[in-house]
Structure 1
Amino acid sequence: MSPSRGIAVWLLPLCVFCFTLHSRAEAVADANAYGQPRVVKLYGGGGLGGLAHYQTGVVVSADGLIATIDTLVLEQGEAVAVMNDGSRRSAKVVGSDPITGIALLRAMPPLSLAPFVKFRSESSPEIGQSALVFANVFGIAAGDEPVSLITGVVGGLIPPADSVAGAGSPFLLDSVTGVPGLPGGLVLAADGTPIGLMSREVTNEATGLIVNPVISADVVADRIEVLLTGAVVERSPQPAAGVTVSTFAEFGFAMIPDLSPRTPPYVDYVRSESLARQAGLAAGDLIVSVGDDVVSSQRDLLALISPDRRRVDSDLQLTIKRGHRLVVIVIDAQEEAP
């Protein structure tokens, strides 16, 4: 084989590789130009015990409707939406879907001719498909900075027992897992087609594996339409599917959603006429001990207050942290609830 022919044999694959690499770079650049103006940074509740007070949203109408995921960030029914240009607007919750966890917010004052994403019923993630995720991970983008662009691959389907977005939800591989700010992120195919919305991370309790579920575009499109018709009840204090809330009905109080094994034992709600309210317990209190036993997580609290650990008619002594003070309260279990 002549030297010139040998060079050609090596040069052709190299040219093909360079062309493919250049084409992919152009596709990512085009997708980035499409995605960034349509993604907003949301700041709201959370912050307790290190829980994130920020996440991501996607503009889905020209006048400023925003699709995201219902988390503690939205616990007050509103959030601050930081737009791509750095401007800030109040975003009030219009409604949320308890099955998928999708929440719809409305920016106030309304936007005018804003670029938005149209989720379509025929565009859904496919196994093995490359994906681009736009999300405000770690809350890095607080102004007009672009949100993070993360690459991933649609890896498979989540088992029904682990899914927060319904049985068979797809999830991303080779993507950042276990990071705050990801819920509500926009998921695009490599060609820039919107294929989904990032949900909360899911942890398999048996293996400890953490995956990032994607609510597919067809589900997002359907839920947005339903929320706009008002067919779903206005935002409820109940969490989305897959999230546990510890409720102590006999005493009349409930905890913040239990999102991980280390979720801090903060009180989220105290019924107005209840034994807990009479004893002085209030929303926002951090329970640090039950009797002489230290409490470091909600699961500790559940174990200590469970009927098999104490007599049902015994008083419940709680030490709580309220601001910078420690307060001891006693709930009289023998007294009848009002």
Structure 2
Amino acid sequence: MTQTAKTTLIATAAALLAAGVTVTTTASGWTAPAWLHGSKAPVSAPVAGEATPAATAATVTAATTLAAPAVTLPPAQLPNYRAIVQTQGPAVVGITVAGLHKVGNDDDGDDAPVARGRDDDSDPFFRFFRGIPGLRMPQQGPQPFRGQGSGFIISPDGLVLTNAHVVRDAKQVTVKLSDRREFSAKVLGSDPATDIAVLKLDAKNLPTVQLGDPRQVQVGDYVLAIGAPYGFEQTATQGIVSAKGRSLPGDSVVPFIQTDAAVNPGNSGGPLFDAAGRVVGVNAQIYSQSGGFQGLAFSIPVDVALKVKDQIVAHGKVEHARLGVTLQDLSAPLASSFGLGAPDGALVSSVQPDSAAAKAGLKAGDVITAIDGEPVRVAGDVSSRVGLARPGDKLKLELWRDKSRVSETVSLGRADKDTQEASASPQGGSLGLALRPLERQELRGSGLDHGLLIERVTGPAQLAGVQPGDVLLAMNGKPVQSVEQVREALKGKPASVALLVARDGQQIFVPVRLG
């Protein structure tokens, strides 16, 4: 290297270091020559006013020492999908069912999409279809149907897991193995709340899947689905975990695993494998506006399915616990209104009388931040934990109440079948509310014991979604019974407030930004 090149490189390094720039290298990167590190190699005298190579080397060493260590991620390796299919595929089964549908069921035909908890086919959250597309014939009375799904064997003596909706109303259930053997299956039990069913085959020494721990699966991990989409048996599709702990409309119990592995009608009830070939989920739902796969699939964590299986095998039925509260997620404005630093937790918007929550002293405005030491991030965390518990189980709840932390122990109740958790219209300050106290008859008719009727909405409250006809029950967790209380709460000019309003028989918190 010429003297000019050396001098230029030294000056460039010195300039970068003076500007606070530190260069880190990898094994395959550039290595500084010996003369830059102050070795004994002959170096021409430096130009006047420039740093010597030795001084430059000392500066480089010091800067490198102060720099944060480079973070390197281990290279991602594709799982051996071929091995997973060869070793686990024999335990994946196809299921065909036959029976009678009553007119009025939410399945209108073999190819009718079903939204969990709804009868609206326009809702994009569809259950997997029963069967493959066919011709619908409007008829009266019970209609025969044939359907198809998937499942997987979990014990050599013939226990099979699948979705409850696959075998619903089925009079005949046939399970077909990968080696073409067929067995008539008995439905030991099913649980609509989690959409899990357990079948029993009269057989021995059957191949079984390897079960995994869905808690160890992280977003970005590889997954593989095997099933019979549209009747095409032993179809394998791959993808990644897109999200965890998803709560879907009508499904308050299951913390779904979201994936982008292609699943379609007929995959329902089939297994979702992790990269090591262990079952971590049961494919159950898709989000679709067309009826086909659109990149959003949802699986029931296998530990949830196994809890249901244990109850069905032991008792023939499943019992779910009930807390007796209405919950909603926290937003940043709501969290600020309650004095929380982050919008983590489940906000209690109402407590049902004589419920387990009421007996434990929970009240509207409490924020559940942890259960038995496990942090709660969203309302679905509470719903799934409670829904999967047994009646009588005790949970320790960590609460945020009146800007301080408290603990309550609650003994869970039993879930029902239908329960899965002033006359001048003075203005309410800068909220934009026209309020008046409820008349005695209005209180009796609404079933409330206090509240202010919201007659007109403008400004911040209108932007937040408050509606005329709502009843204002509380501000920032404190009940309000007069307009003066509202004005008093606004004297401090808070940046936001949390309004508890009653609407259509429900209580919800509405965050309102005032600043």
TM-score, normalised via structure 1 length:
0.53
| Residue 100, structure 1, aligned to residue 205, structure 2 | no
RMSD of equivalent CA atoms: 3.2
Q: Give 1:72 deviation, angstroms.
A: 4.8
Q: Aligned pair in 2 of structure 1 residues 29, 229: CA closer, same or farther (>3 Å)?
A: same
SS of structure 2 residue aligned to 1:199:
strand
Deviations 1:153-186 (A, max 9, x none): 110146534364735312112x225x21111111
Give 5+ residue unaligned stretches, structure 1.
1-8, 10-19, 142-146, 235-338
SS of structure 1 residue aligned to 2:98:
coil
SS of structure 2 residue aligned to 1:63:
coil
SS of structure 2 residue aligned to 1:160:
strand
Identity of aligned residues (%): 21
Q: How far, CA to CA, are the matches of 1:214 and 1:230 in structure 2?
A: 25
Q: How far, CA to CA, are the matches of 1:181 and 1:189 in structure 2?
A: 20
Q: Is the 8 A contact 1:123 1:194 kept in 2?
A: no
Deviations 1:254-313 (A, max 9, x none): xxxxxxxxxxxxxxxxxxxxxxxxxxxxxxxxxxxxxxxxxxxxxxxxxxxxxxxxxxxx
Q: Aligned pair in 2 of structure 1 residues 49, 88: CA closer, same or farther (>3 Å)?
A: closer
Q: Give 1:149 deviation, angstroms.
A: 0.5
Alignment of 1:176-325 (within 5 A): 176-177=262-263, 179-202=264-287, 211-230=296-315, 232=317
Q: How far, CA to CA, are the matches of 1:71 and 1:122 in structure 2?
A: 22
Q: RCO (CA 8 Å, sep 6+): is it higher in 1 or 2?
A: 1
Q: Aligned pair in 2 of structure 1 residues 209, 83: CA closer, same or farther (>3 Å)?
A: closer
Q: Is the 8 A contact 2:256 2:299 kept in 1?
A: yes
- The match for 1:85 is 179
Alignment of 1:35-184 (within 5 A): 35-45=88-98, 48-50=109-111, 51-52=130-131, 53-107=147-201, 110-120=202-212, 125-141=217-233, 147-157=234-244, 159-162=246-249, 164=251, 166=253, 168-173=255-260, 175-177=261-263, 179-184=264-269
Q: How far, CA to CA, are the matches of 1:156 and 1:163 in structure 2?
A: 19
Q: Is the 8 A contact 1:42 1:82 kept in 2?
A: yes
Q: Aligned pair in 2 of structure 1 residues 159, 196: CA closer, same or farther (>3 Å)?
A: closer
Q: Is the 8 A contact 2:220 2:240 kept in 1?
A: yes
SS of structure 2 residue aligned to 1:45:
strand
Q: Give 1:43 deviation, angstroms.
A: 0.6
SS of structure 1 residue aligned to 2:285:
coil
Q: Aligned pair in 2 of structure 1 residues 113, 121: CA closer, same or farther (>3 Å)?
A: same
Q: Give 1:99 deviation, angstroms.
A: 1.8
Q: How far, CA to CA, are the matches of 1:222 and 1:120 in structure 2?
A: 14
Give 5+ residue unaligned stretches, structure 2.
1-27, 29-74, 100-107, 112-129, 132-146, 320-515
- Which amino acid in 2 is paired with 1:232? K
Q: How far, CA to CA, are the matches of 1:49 and 1:197 in structure 2?
A: 22
Q: Is the 8 A contact 1:56 1:181 kept in 2?
A: yes
Q: Aligned pair in 2 of structure 1 residues 30, 172: CA closer, same or farther (>3 Å)?
A: same
Q: Aligned pair in 2 of structure 1 residues 48, 63: CA closer, same or farther (>3 Å)?
A: same
SS of structure 2 residue aligned to 1:48:
coil
- The match for 1:297 is none
Q: Give 1:48 deviation, angstroms.
A: 2.9
Q: How far, CA to CA, are the matches of 1:233 and 1:166 in structure 2?
A: 13
Larger Rg: 1 or 2?
2
Q: Aligned pair in 2 of structure 1 residues 56, 161: CA closer, same or farther (>3 Å)?
A: closer
37-46 or 53-62, which deviates more: 37-46
Q: How far, CA to CA, are the matches of 1:140 and 1:165 in structure 2?
A: 32
Q: Aligned pair in 2 of structure 1 residues 204, 167: CA closer, same or farther (>3 Å)?
A: farther
Deviations 1:188-238 (A, max 9, x none): 111212211111324599xx977311111221222221211116259xxxx
Q: How far, CA to CA, are the matches of 2:251 and 2:259 in structure 1?
A: 14
Q: How far, CA to CA, are the matches of 1:227 and 1:49 in structure 2?
A: 27
Q: Aligned pair in 2 of structure 1 residues 226, 24: CA closer, same or farther (>3 Å)?
A: same
Q: How far, CA to CA, are the matches of 1:165 and 1:88 in structure 2?
A: 36
- Which amino acid in 2 is paired with 1:48? G
- Which amino acid in 2 is paired with 1:32? V
Q: How far, CA to CA, are the matches of 1:167 and 1:40 in structure 2?
A: 24
Alignment of 1:6-17 (within 5 A): none
- Which amino acid in 1 is paired with 2:148? Y
- The match for 2:85 is 32
Q: Is the 8 A contact 2:224 2:237 kept in 1?
A: yes
Q: Is the 8 A contact 1:127 1:155 kept in 2?
A: yes
Q: How far, CA to CA, are the matches of 2:94 and 2:241 in structure 1?
A: 24
Q: Give 1:118 deviation, angstroms.
A: 4.7
